[in-house]
Amino acid sequence: MKKLNIVILAAGKGERMLSKKPKVMHEIMGKPMIGHVAERAKELSPSEIVVVTGFGRELVELYLESSNVNVSVQTEQKGTAHALLTAEKFIKGGDVLVLYGDVPLIEISTLKNFLSFYMHFNSISFLTTRVDNPLGYGRAIMEEEEIMDIVEDADATEEEKRIDEINTGICIIPEESFPLLKLIEPNNKKGEYYLTDICKVARKKGLNIKGCHHHESTEVLGINSKKELLDANMVMRDRMLDRHMQNGVTLLDRNIYIESDVIIGRDTTIFPNSYFFGSTVIGNDVVIGPNTVIKNSKINNNVRIEGFTIIEELEVKEDTIVEAFSRIRPEGS
């Protein structure tokens, strides 16, 4: 495979979120959605990562300042193909993987499998999935692994709307096919430049387009409402709990909230109804009683924290016992 570039589309407003905040800045387990996607992108070690911003760009770009990514601005919302082309100036050759800033549940294993699929065919490839209710999604019209067309919901016929195989938006475009984006025309009801119309352009030139089916739709679909945001938080919460248990942490209940950047050492035991926020680091052999809240703090090894305790912005020394109903903060706060 040639060198890989990753473009993350993050310019949308997200009308259904009913919020003044840019959609990609809504948090999943304490981290903006765009942060989760950028982390997965970095795990692929690409040549370049470009984030395309638009609505609320100031907030998004402020968050990304320390992320070592390029930022391109889509000043007008003219569609996904137009958004992708704004990133062209940062792409100095190589294939392009397109991700979305509102798909925070995407797993690195899924992306690696998709890249392997792509390398087998070396053709424009889209990641597809199947849903019970495809309303609102672009339908993938396929013959086995071949995509004949992708039709957006607003432009689909009644027969096409019955198709339940949908386009996730995630795709890979070979270096030699990237110029085809400039041939896309806004021939649709919204008058936008759809990235999916690269299928039509490519097929006219005799090129094949491949569809890689992913069985777990929840992981690869965008978040468009507060209900979907809650559902995604629940999925990510369970992933966090499973990860910590796999690393040797004992959890006595699933009613425990651990944000994405929290670190917990082995043989630590956590009782129910406890919450861990921000950059908290917990050592080995710690016991944390029920109904405890710890925020941006360091808990060293062999600490015992009795229940109903709040600790914020502090370090607790090794072998300390913190009594129940304690509230510990820096002086003056």
Catalytic site includes residue 16: yes
Q: For residues 81 and 86, what is the distance between their CA atoms, to the nearest angstrom?
A: 9
Other CB atoms within 10 Å distance of the CB of residue 172: 27
The answer to whether the beta carbons of residues 147 and 199 sit under 8 Å apart is yes
Q: Tell me the torsion sign for CA atoms 89, 92, 95, 97.
A: negative
CA angle 222, 224, 229 (to 5 degrees): 85
The token pair that represents 7 in the structure block: 């473009």
Report residue 84: phi and psi, to 5°.
-65, -40
Token pair of 111 as six digits: 């992306």
Q: Which amino acid is it at 300?
A: N
For residue 191, what are its two tokens?
């008058």
Contacts of 326 (CB under 8 A, 6+ apart): 306, 309, 310, 311
β-bridge mates for residue 262, sequence order: none
CA distance 320 to 309: 14
Residue type present at position 327: R
Convert 100-138 to b/e letters by CB count within 10 Å (16 or more is b).
bbbbbbbeeebbeebbebbeebbbbbbbbbeeeebeebb
**Of the residues 16, 162, 243, 329, which is catalytic?**
16
Which sequence positions are flagged as catalytic?
16
